[in-house]
Structure 1
Amino acid sequence: MHIRKNQRNLTRDEKRRLIDALLELKRRGEYDEFVRTHGEFYVTDAERRPRPAHMTPSFFPWHRLYLLEFERALQRIDPSVTVPYWDWTADNTPSSPLWADDFLGGTGRRGDLQVMDGPFAYRNGGWRIEARITDGRYLTRDLGRPAAPLSLPTRADVERALREPVYDAAPWNSTSRGGFRNLIEGWNIDGERWRNHNRVHRWVGGLMTGAASPNDPVFWLHHAFIDLLWVRWQRAHPRAARYLPGTRLDGSDPQAGRIFTLDEPMPPWDAPPAALLDHTRHDYRYA
């Protein structure tokens, strides 16, 4: 069983090994395939087609398997590598070590938001954006959005979500007013569209704000923390922490055929949410 650590606790060697594996996965072209997969399954609830990844009950299990597949790809390069998590309630400023030149690099420069330092800066030669929705070939960020300042979610924001006893609720989309899933995913909560998970994407800015967000390596650290929050919620509600909806929806339900209930296989792996509920079955734990 391998251990996912808080990124602030990585040793210098662990950081180097992670960076080297990311750069090699990129060189092989495999990294960009992961970016394209995320873009393909970034389906909004306004679209009349299945949406396994976002604005949906399967947000957590889909991203769990997506992250697992990515981690396994890194481990084929270096078996010692795991995906660390970024606790953005604690490391919540652009000056956090996460953004240092020897790790992920910092924010983008004024004007084009191009990241100019760190191993993923375009000018350093190893990180060319291929799977994209813009013409830019370089990684972009706008940490904290200085022109219109934005703060990261707080411990209180997370604790509120962890207290929610129900996993998800009808209508099973971005407008669901109850349920842990949407409180964490962060759509339309108390009249505010960008909470928790979504707010982090916007705080980082640049490429992290769209369907091609995995182009920024911080995506994986962010989603490892999202996965950890699901683990914590399950532990906090051991009797009630079940995936909803548990049974196939009636054909008259507007969400029938568009969301994935407990035993309905999620693309592109044909794995149902039921297979992803217990993270310990997948040979990892969190430190």
Structure 2
Amino acid sequence: MVSIRSLLAIALAAAAAQVYASPIALADHTHLSIFDYASPPSSLSSPQGSGGGCSEILQRRAWQSLSASEKRAYLDAELCLMWQIPAQSGLAATVSRYDDLIKAHQLQSGVVHGDGWFLPFHRLHMYAHEKLLREECGYEGAQPYWDEEADAGRFTQAEIFDTELGFGGTGRVGDRCITDGPFANYTLHTGPGYQNTDHCITRTISDLESRNSATQFVEECLALPTFARAWPCIESRPHAGGHAGVGGEMMNPISSPGDPLFYLHHTFLDRVWWRWQERDLPARLEDIAGYTTQTRPRSGWVNATLDDELNMYGIIPNATVREVMDIKGGLCFEYV
């Protein structure tokens, strides 16, 4: 099959290109670092336990496998972050704790897409979301993932878009705002893109675009022998499938965390990466490649390394790439 509308990846790349040309990202055309955005807090240490170990291993499961009560608990916790917990980052246009998470992604989109930090940063971002749900909103479960392989090519029929035990459906004709489900009346303050404007959550669900999340393409990525080859495959294929298959806010590479489905989508991608790591775990816990920016800075390319620090703007402590490579020994969760 031809690349399921290869324009998917092109569209995402074109939208992302606006990030790298943004005054925020390349004001002086010098090398970007996460340290250019804010003074990083102390590095992540023993995320769940103490003394370097894990007090428990959280089990991340597919949304489709959760019971009705488990789904309600997750949705309620997400609504808690959106409506009940005020922002703490102090970043522009943040009102809720949920806004803090969107902003951490928006402000550094230019250095966490199309380069070696893509998968490590989003793993840490998903961990931060899970941590806030549990510690600030009383959620007792783990961050679920959306098994997009099971729904690829049929997103319009997926149970995750249920109006009561899901995230609501597609947007209405005209403004594309979602009108049903638990998030229908939510107002985003960050986005679209680098803007900070009040707007609704938008979606344009498409079965065609969702086909890039199919098992066929995931397996192609898993079969690649090095991170240098596997990461671009994951970013361009199943990553594009979820974002473009949902559409709307999710199609904006800068402010896509505005749609709560972002977290289940990127947890799915993190599981794909972990499945790739597990095929040669000792070696792949140290396999990192790529640059620290998508476009070449005037000062020259900089290679991503295990010691690079990923910035979470104080939402949780920063972590190095090395600290997020092992989900069981480092971040204390597993996929089941």
Structure 1-normalised TM-score?
0.81
Q: 1:121 aligns with which of 184, 190, 206?
A: 184
Which amino acid in the other structure matches residue 184 of structure 2? Answer: A
1:79-115, Cα deviation, whole Å (9 max, x unpaired): 4132111121212321111100111111111111111
Q: Which runs of 5+ in 2 are unaligned?
A: 1-56, 86-95
Contact 1:85/1:221 (8 A) holds in 2: yes
Equivalent residue, structure 2, for 1:68: 127
RMSD of aligned Cα (Å): 2.3
> Are residues 1:82 and 2:145 paired?
no
Query: Secondary structure in 2 aligned to 1:89?
Result: helix
Structure-2 change in CA distance of 1:239 and 1:4 (3 Å): closer
1:1-287 superposed matches below 5 A: 1-27=57-83, 28=85, 29-43=96-110, 51=111, 53-76=112-135, 77-92=137-152, 93=154, 94-102=156-164, 103-122=166-185, 127-133=186-192, 135=197, 137-144=199-206, 149-153=208-212, 154-168=214-228, 179-186=229-236, 195-210=237-252, 211-238=254-281, 240-241=283-284, 242-245=286-289, 254-256=300-302, 260-268=304-312, 269-281=317-329, 282-287=331-336
Structure-2 change in CA distance of 1:239 and 1:109 (3 Å): same
Structure-2 change in CA distance of 1:253 and 1:138 (3 Å): closer
Which amino acid in the other structure matches residue 198 of structure 1? Answer: A
Structure possessing the higher relative contact order (Cα contacts under 8 Å, 6 or more residues apart): 2
CA distance in structure 1 between the partners assigned to 2:129 and 2:277 by the alignment: 23
Which amino acid in the other structure matches residue 70 of structure 1? Answer: H
Query: Secondary structure in 2 aligned to 1:3?
Result: strand
Structure-2 change in CA distance of 1:68 and 1:59 (3 Å): same
Higher deviation after alignment, 234-243 or 10-19: 234-243
1:184-215, Cα deviation, whole Å (9 max, x unpaired): 011xxxxxxxx220232111111001111011
Contact 2:115/2:291 (8 A) holds in 1: no
Contact 2:116/2:291 (8 A) holds in 1: no
CA distance in structure 1 between the partners assigned to 2:248 and 2:175 by the alignment: 9
CA distance in structure 2 between the partners assigned to 1:181 and 1:247 by the alignment: 12
Which amino acid in the other structure matches residue 177 of structure 2? Answer: Q
Structure-2 change in CA distance of 1:155 and 1:246 (3 Å): closer
Contact 2:63/2:145 (8 A) holds in 1: yes
Q: Which runs of 5+ in 1 are unaligned?
A: 44-50, 169-178, 187-194
CA distance in structure 1 between the partners assigned to 2:250 and 2:113 by the alignment: 15
- The alignment of Structure 1 onto Structure 2 pairs a total of residues equal to 250
